[in-house]
Amino acid sequence: MTYIPISPAERDAMLKTVGVKSLDDLFDAVPAKHRFPKLDLPPALTEMEAAAHLADMASSNENVREHLISFLGAGAYNHYVPSVVDHMLRRGEFYTAYTPYQPEISQGTLQAIFEYQSLMTNLTGMDVSNASHYDGATATAEAVNLAYAQFRGKRRKIVISPTVHPQYREVIRTYSQGMGLEEAGDDPSADLEVGPEALTSLIDENTMLVIVQYPDFFGRIHDYTKLIEDAHAKGSLVCIVANPTALIMLKSPGDMGADIVVGEAQPFGIPLWYGGPYLGFFTTRKSYVHKMAGRLVGETVDNRGQRSYVLTLTAREQHIKRERATSNICTNQGLLALASAVYMSTLGKQGLQEVANLCYQKAHYAAGELSKIDGFGLCFMEPFFHEFVLCTPKPAGEVNQYLLDNGILGGYDLSKDYPALQNHILVAVTEMNSKDEIDTLVEVLKEM
């Protein structure tokens, strides 16, 4: 009865109104032999006990604020979240509201999403943004759906760079297994030294979409302008999977000519949370807006002449178009879109530039110091933002284990996804890493 506000007397009165004798009598339609199973679950805890139990379990983890110095990124990043972000998220008016189907009493959610859409399009240099996806990987898979719909199934090839996040590539494969697509480029044993031009020769008249990452999974910054021109010359669309923190500093994908820009907005005000929930963003050109999955908020006026906002272009969606909908997506990440909007608003243009610059400066300091250690070095020559590949004298797994024994969460072991990269660690450095932490990492590796 933990959260049920009905007294026994009220219950009895209500049963009488319904016309049944007991609560159990409400379930006569349920097959008798399966009715009221005995559930083998632990007995109920009180709030006090539950709080202690959950705290116990949480404290048996080693976290990256209290126990471990972290240089792990690879798609999830340890950034500072200003206090104001969670204060706004904890407003019950935001977090206990539903999808804004009734706009007259949902303007808070609607305007917040409208502003989130605006922030994301300005950041990526695109025209339109939807109200968000589950995460960066599923947003990328939905870009494939958009391209498939755009060409009505007449083009069936996608070209994926092998330096798109490995888990994103897996999700694309899971999503598209019913479409009968041809894939090219996604070969982990490909020459990883070459730049985006290696993909150009794979693009042909049957290619519907080219997918690249920016900075790529190895942290390298490529200008994709030429690749996009070549892809457009063949009639193909191009999707860039971008890191939002890097976009604060770097040339926007819109300026490069991208057709779709997606990515993971977790770095913008969302905790690591052991991998989720995160926030997939999805932006594109206005011409593709009718093919885009997910919720969209548009501006309008109410019958009193006030500026207001509504969910719009809903005819694309599953509750109207059913099996012919652009996708089955029904939800968005509303609360996390709010988190990211509050994050961007609170840091503002200048604060965001400071975050990006700190990430860049500290990562480059770390890369410089690490590459001075005997046997270590930077594996790639291209410019990078806040993540880089460190070549190690021993297998990455051994190096990381040694670091962990010394209280350091090392980088991502690239041999897990690229068989040729046995001695390669992807190191991420953010504004959260002090010079002392970086120096400690260098010292520990020197002693190894």
Q: From the list 14, 21, 197, 372, which residue makes contact with other proteins (rule: CB under 8 A)?
A: 14
Q: Which is nearer to other proteins, 238 or 358 (CB)?
A: 358
Nearest distance, CB of residue 138 and other proteins, angstroms? 5
Applying CB under 8 A, the span of 95-103, 187-195, 205-213, 230-238 interacting with other proteins comes to: 95-103
| Residues in 170-189 that interact with other proteins by CB under 8 A | 170-171, 173-175, 177-179
Q: Which is nearer to other proteins, 68 or 234 (CB)?
A: 68
**Is 287 among the residues that bind other proteins (CB under 8 A)?**
no
**Is 12 among the residues that bind other proteins (CB under 8 A)?**
no
**Is 312 among the residues that bind other proteins (CB under 8 A)?**
yes
Instruction: Say how far apart CA 440 and CA 216 lie, in whole Å.
Output: 27
Give whole-number Cα distances, 267 to 38, 76, 86, 275, in Å. Answer: 44, 7, 14, 12
| Residues in 250-279 that interact with other proteins by CB under 8 A | 250-252, 255, 264, 271-278
Q: From the list 324, 374, 381, 405, which residue makes contact with other proteins (rule: CB under 8 A)?
A: 324
**Is 123 among the residues that bind other proteins (CB under 8 A)?**
yes
Nearest distance, CB of residue 391 and other proteins, angstroms? 20
Instruction: Say how far apart CA 342 and CA 155 lie, in whole Å.
Output: 40
Q: From the list 187, 201, 434, 443, which residue makes contact with other proteins (rule: CB under 8 A)?
A: 434
Residues contacting residue 18 through CB under 8 Å, at least 6 positions apart: 26
Angle between helices 396-405 and 435-447 (to 10 degrees): 120
Contact present, 136 and 278 (Cβ < 8 Å): yes
Contact present, 267 and 278 (Cβ < 8 Å): no
Applying CB under 8 A, the span of 64-72, 182-190, 232-240, 373-381 interacting with other proteins comes to: 64-72
Q: Which is nearer to other proteins, 81 or 235 (CB)?
A: 81
Q: Which is nearer to other proteins, 187 or 255 (CB)?
A: 255
Residues contacting residue 85 through CB under 8 Å, at least 6 positions apart: 269, 339, 342, 343, 346
| Residues in 189-218 that interact with other proteins by CB under 8 A | none
Angle between helices 107-124 and 334-371 (to 10 degrees): 30
**Is 406 among the residues that bind other proteins (CB under 8 A)?**
no
Applying CB under 8 A, the span of 184-192, 204-212, 298-306, 387-395 interacting with other proteins comes to: 298-306
| Residues in 149-168 that interact with other proteins by CB under 8 A | 165, 167-168
Applying CB under 8 A, the span of 184-192, 193-201, 322-330, 372-380 interacting with other proteins comes to: 322-330
Number of residues that bind other proteins (CB under 8 A): 210
Residues contacting residue 214 through CB under 8 Å, at least 6 positions apart: 221, 222, 224, 240, 241, 242, 243, 246, 250, 253
Q: Which is nearer to other proteins, 45 or 420 (CB)?
A: 45
Q: From the list 8, 21, 61, 191, which residue makes contact with other proteins (rule: CB under 8 A)?
A: 61
Angle between helices 136-150 and 166-175 (to 10 degrees): 50
Sign of the CA dihedral with 128 first, then 321, 142, and 102 last: positive
Contact present, 280 and 264 (Cβ < 8 Å): yes
**Is 233 among the residues that bind other proteins (CB under 8 A)?**
no
Nearest distance, CB of residue 192 and other proteins, angstroms? 20
Nearest to 193 by CA among 379, 37, 27, 321: 379
Instruction: Say how far apart CA 218 and CA 384 lie, in whole Å.
Output: 9
Contact present, 127 and 121 (Cβ < 8 Å): yes
Nearest distance, CB of residue 74 and other proteins, angstroms? 6
Instruction: Say how far apart CA 21 and CA 59 lie, in whole Å.
Output: 48
Nearest distance, CB of residue 72 and other proteins, angstroms? 5
Q: From the list 21, 91, 372, 394, which residue makes contact with other proteins (rule: CB under 8 A)?
A: 91
Neighbours of 276 (CB within 10 A): 14
**Is 221 among the residues that bind other proteins (CB under 8 A)?**
yes
| Residues in 339-398 that interact with other proteins by CB under 8 A | 341-342, 344-355, 357-358, 360-362, 364-365, 368, 383, 385
Q: Which is nearer to other proteins, 200 or 308 (CB)?
A: 308
